[in-house]
Amino acid sequence: MRERPVYCCRSVSTPPPLDGNIDGTAWARADKISRGFHLIGTRADPPGYFLEAAALWDDEALYVCLVSDPSPVPVTMRERDRDLFNECAVEVFLRAGSGYYEIEVNPLGAVLDLYFPREEETDWRAMAEFDVPGLAWTVGEVDANGRWCAQLAIPWDGVPEVSRAQHDGMACIFANFTRSQKLPDGRYHLTTWGPAQNAFCELANMGCVVLSPREEANR
């Protein structure tokens, strides 16, 4: 089994723009996670379907940028709180005590946001009645190959149950960055950053996101 990954999330003095641009902004200075993703329940690096993650933070919000390959199946869902994972979606999971928050975005800009007060909850439709207050997001195409990015601003006040801990004397949260992709043959390609075995939401198998000290924002 893979070890829990650790990511250094840099602080910012000005929120990064949510404009679909990943070059020449604060997003370009954020540390990138482009290696270490794997197919759920395996040690194998996922072939194809590129996924890259980056995150920043300030006192108001956690900012996440996920860059992904285009979907090999049609993406049709445009409404909020649909089953985006049954076509193509990039996803953020945040541990919250004995449960978690889950936020998904698809290439059309549709969002599915959920709050599970317990890890073992299975009725996602009931959990989708929750919407993250103040959540902001955008989707943009980043290159001629159809790669796209989802950029999110997740207000801390909107996810008040997020668990905080200490890693080497610095504050950290537990998160997973993932992609759910249905394939043309009906199978699913499930890419995860944390060492999840059966489900992206496994609390013990989320990565550690270290919130770097705020003074780094001015360096």
Model-wide pTM > 0.85: yes
Q: List beta partners, residue 176.
A: 93
Kindly state the average pLDDT of the residues 120-135.
95
For residue 159 the two structure tokens come to 């996810």
Tens digits of residue pLDDT in 168-203: 989 999 999 999 999 999 999 999 999 999 999 999
Secondary structure letter of residue 35 according to DSSP: S
For the chain, give the mean pLDDT: 93
Torsion angle in degrees (nearest 10) through CA of 170, 14, 206, 184:
-160
Do the Cβ atoms of 134 and 15 come closer than 8 Å?
no
Q: Spell out the domain ranges in the chain.
A: 6-210
Q: List beta partners, residue 105.
A: 90, 111
Do the Cβ atoms of 59 and 124 come closer than 8 Å?
no
Burial (Cβ within 10 Å: 0-12, 13-18, ≥19) of residue 69 = middle
Tens digits of residue pLDDT in 19-78: 998 988 899 989 999 988 999 988 777 767 899 999 999 999 999 999 999 999 999 999
- Give the right CATH number for 6-210 from 3.30.43.10, 1.10.260.40, 2.60.40.1190, 1.10.10.10: 2.60.40.1190
Q: Identify the residue whose tokens are 């049709």.
A: 76
At 7, the pLDDT band (50, 70, 90 cuts) reads very high
At 218, the pLDDT band (50, 70, 90 cuts) reads very low
At 155, the pLDDT band (50, 70, 90 cuts) reads very high
